[in-house]
Amino acid sequence: MADSQAQTTFNERPKLVVGIVVDQMRWDYLGRYYDKYQEDGLKRLMNQGYSCNNCLINYLPTVTAIGHTSAYTGTTPAFHGICGNAFYINGVKRSSCEDPNVQTVGTNKKEASSPVNLLASTIGDQLRLHTDFKSKVIGVSYKDRAAILPAGRSASAAYWIDTKNGQFITSTWYMQELPKWAKDFNAQLKKNKELQKVGKDVGLYPLCGHITADMAIAALKGEQLGKGEETDMLCVSFSQTDVIGHEWGTRGERTDEAYLELDKDIAKLLKAFDEQVGEGNYLVFLTADHGAAHNFKFMEDHKLNGGAFKWDEVFSVDAAKRLAAKFHLTKNVIKDCLDYRIVLDKEAIREQGVDEQALRDAIVEELLNTPHIAFAFDFKKAATAPVPEMLNDRSGDIIFMLEPGWYGFGKWSSPIGTTHGEWNPYDAHIPLLFYGWKVKHGETSREVHITDIAPTVCQKMHIQQPNACVGEAITEVIE
């Protein structure tokens, strides 16, 4: 009898697994807004679920594409291959999900996206493998990378917003035509007067979260997720919190509103799961892809360390002159700087007969002598640098880290807004909540990592971990 019961337990799985990522959500937002959250939203997850209060990101840089990928693959950029929101492949700069070999579906937009650059499997891929691809796995988000990368390469579908026409779209990686329920949902969006008013700037408003939640519920019902013989998975990412944070920072009415409205979206999703699948029949985890620094002016006003680092003004001009003089350069040898990662122009280096390693060493020395840069190292020497070797060639050639409170000021941050990307707790300390199927209420302050999410969920379902997983299952959640 005991063996029979053990076998039954071993084969049990929830009807539905739901992954929720809140883009740019700092861990302390759970407490900051706790008294204002409603009872059936985030408070429900906190008060009835299990909270890992010391979940950290264990790689650099802390940006959207990497965070979503690492949470669902259980591994770092060195293995899953998504080394930034953009990176170079064979000398060509690509966004993380850019794919010239597919076409968009649901719009006439030329740029198309897929998980082609993802090298590792995800939770959803493993679930599909385990069930001989009978499980449905769907990703939904405002951003293409936030819908595509969590769902994985074998996903049933991924949907994201084309801001030009205010519609959810996909690509031919998944299908040739949107399903009827998605077309019907898009038809309703065309009638949304609030969406018509904000247009392509929808990401700057809580409305973006509302329609993301509604699209996720439309997929839940349209695909009858959680009602089949096998476990299904829904990957939802809320991006408006990131867009608003970049524009208005971590403090103020706009950010406050964003998280209180997000709370309503979470409550709406949980209610839909209760109705569609049944309370106790689904497993939810909620986390973030990264946090965010406080606005540098806010820090300065309160006599705290902080500032804006402008690459073109602070480093590249003067340093470029010194490097040119030292190595007799006639062409620029630095191709790009992406998320604190310097990409060298290898062809220009070869053409000018420059000793590449000597050049790398000189650039690192220049960085270390640059105000407000705390660390810099050559990826080739990463094993002996202060940060472990985690990243591969897609990451660039040299990485640098700024002093606490400092961040790169540019495309993704306004004068009153902020950004992210560093190792510091404000960027790397993220929420991690588990709720629902066989999850006991509790919390731990033991250090866990974003890469521990995937093995925990897979272990709980008794399926194999993703194929490049380096994380460890969080035993407190499994027991």
C-alpha to C-alpha distance for 298 and 417, rounded to whole angstroms: 10
Q: Output the tens digit of pLDDT for each of the chain's 479 residues.
A: 444 444 447 789 999 999 999 999 999 999 999 999 999 999 999 999 999 999 999 999 999 999 999 999 999 999 999 999 999 998 899 999 999 999 999 998 888 999 999 999 999 999 999 999 999 999 999 999 999 999 999 999 999 999 999 999 999 999 999 999 999 999 999 999 999 999 999 999 999 999 999 999 999 999 999 999 999 999 999 999 999 999 999 999 999 999 999 999 999 999 999 999 999 999 999 999 999 999 999 999 999 999 999 887 767 678 888 999 999 999 989 999 988 999 999 999 999 999 999 999 999 999 999 999 999 999 877 655 444 444 446 778 999 999 999 998 877 778 999 999 999 999 999 999 999 999 999 999 999 999 999 999 999 999 999 999 999 999 999 98
163 belongs to the catalytic site: no
Burial of 384 (0-12, 13-18, 19+ CB in 10 A): exposed
Burial of 476 (0-12, 13-18, 19+ CB in 10 A): middle
Confidence (pLDDT) at 367: 93
Nearest alpha-carbon partner for 290 in 420, 145, 433: 420
Q: Which two tokens stand for residue 268?
A: 């709406």
Q: Which two tokens stand for residue 469?
A: 């997983």
Confidence (pLDDT) at 329: 93
Query: Strands 282-287, 307-309: parallel, antiparallel or unpaired by DSSP?
Result: unpaired
Confidence (pLDDT) at 171: 98
Confidence (pLDDT) at 2: 46
Confidence (pLDDT) at 465: 98
Q: Is 52 helix (H, G, I), strand (E, B) or coil?
A: strand
pTM: 0.94
- Among the listed residues 9, 62, 64, 287, the single catalytic one is 64
C-alpha to C-alpha distance for 323 and 344, rounded to whole angstroms: 13
Confidence (pLDDT) at 383: 53
In a 13 Å sphere around the CA of 208, the CA atoms on its Cβ side amount to: 28
| 35, amino acid identity | D
Q: Which residues contact 203 (CB under 8 A, 6 or more apart)?
A: 142, 163, 239, 240, 243, 244
CB-CB contact of 151 with 137 (8 Å): yes
C-alpha to C-alpha distance for 340 and 397, rounded to whole angstroms: 11
Confidence (pLDDT) at 391: 43
Confidence (pLDDT) at 4: 44
SS (H, E, C) 379-433: HHHHHHCCCCCCCCHHHCCEEEEECCCEEECCCCCCCCCCCCCCCCHHHHEECEE
Q: Which two tokens stand for residue 445?
A: 């302050």
